[in-house]
Structure 1
Amino acid sequence: MAKFEEVKNGVIFPVGEKNDVYAKYFIGQSYLNNLIADPKLSVGVGNVTFEPGCRNNWHIHHNGFQLLLVTGGEGWYQEEGKQAQFLTAGDVIVTHDGVKHWHGAAKDSWFEHLAITAGTPEWLEPVTDEIYNQLKK
């Protein structure tokens, strides 16, 4: 049994639907509930939920940023060239314009965060099992 199973029901906001639109940029299953997707605003807010072991590909936000507000479970965040950071509820991540990074759930835990994003994402290569399986809390 995975840790933080309650996350799959939504901690603060509903989980949303299977993230089929972005599935090709994820290893494993994620869910997306777009909370703010107003074309008149230059920022979007989504509640993203990751099943255990799910993570997104390396990516970069151009002409913008990404803020992650962790609301439940356990997960990881890593910027290129830096050590991965272990994340739990209450952690806040600021990703500046042009920084290559990835984020996702721990192997044995559900994970959920709010993603506040501006700019255009450039999706890159997957985070390999070799890199992911070496992560230690």
Structure 2
Amino acid sequence: MDLKPVSPTVKTPAEAFTGDVYLTPIHTGTPPSRMTVALVRFTPGAHTNWHSHAVGQTLHVTEGVGLVGIRDGSVLRVRAGDTIVCPPGEEHWHGAAADTFMSHLAMLEALPDGGDPTSWLEPVTDEHYREANQRS
């Protein structure tokens, strides 16, 4: 058994996120485990770019209200306690609702070859985000 100290929180890069988003690494597995877990905190209105994960991603909302959208236009309004499973290769985005903070645990698997399991794409347009807040 290992007790790992708390890792420093970092501000996420502007090229992959809109608004202020902070990430605290929790766990990076050592082989044979490939699990990666982070606590991600979104300020009101902050969200990711469109992206996908080669092996999928699981999000568990720990605080606040957020949105998760996929390419077909579907948007889920999520709350503390909700768990969202994004299948491998599904292009999606997620973040806080316009008027509240949202935090979630982001859980995914690293690739066996050590490559990046996340494919970052274009930003979510302001119009798309605004519409998502209104209809969900």
TM-score using structure 2 length: 0.83
- Quote the residue 1:54 is aligned against: 46
Q: Does 1:80 align with 2:77?
A: no
State the distance in 2 between where 1:50 and 1:114 align. Answer: 12
The one-letter code of the counterpart of 2:52 is I
Query: Distance between the aligned counterparts of 2:71 and 2:36, measured in 1?
Result: 24
- Give 1 or 2 for the bigger CA radius of gyration: 2
Alignment of 1:38-53 (within 5 A): 38-40=29-31, 41-53=33-45
CA contact (8 A) 1:15 1:32 kept: no
Q: 1:57 to 1:121 in 2, by over 3 A?
A: same
Q: CA deviation at 1:15?
A: 10
Tell me how large the CA RMSD over aligned residues is. 1.7
CA 1:27–1:77 in structure 2 vs 1: closer, same or farther (change >3 Å)? same
- Look up the SS of the partner of 1:23 in the other structure: coil
5+ long unaligned stretches in structure 2: 1-5, 111-116
The amino acid of 2:15's aligned partner reads K
Matches within 5 A, 1:78-117: 78-117=69-108
Partner of 2:127: 130
Q: CA deviation at 1:16?
A: 5.4
* Sequence identity (%): 37
**Distance in 2, Cα, partners of 1:111 & 1:103:** 10
Structure 1 stretches lacking a partner, 5+ long: 1-13
The answer (yes or no) to whether the contact 2:28–2:34 under 8 Å persists in 1 is no
The 3 A distance-change label for structure 1 pair 15 and 85 is farther
Please tell me the residue identity of whatever aligns with 1:18: V
Distance 1:15 1:109 in 2: 25
Residues 1:37 and 1:23: Cα distance change in structure 2 (over 3 Å): farther
Give per-residue Cα distances to partners, 1:58-107, cap 9 Å, x unaligned.
00111x11000001001100111041100110111001111000000001
Q: Per the alignment, in what secondary structure is the counterpart of residue 72 of structure 2? A: coil
Q: Number of matched residues?
A: 122
In the alignment, residue 122 of structure 1 is paired with which amino acid?
S
TM-score by length of 1: 0.82
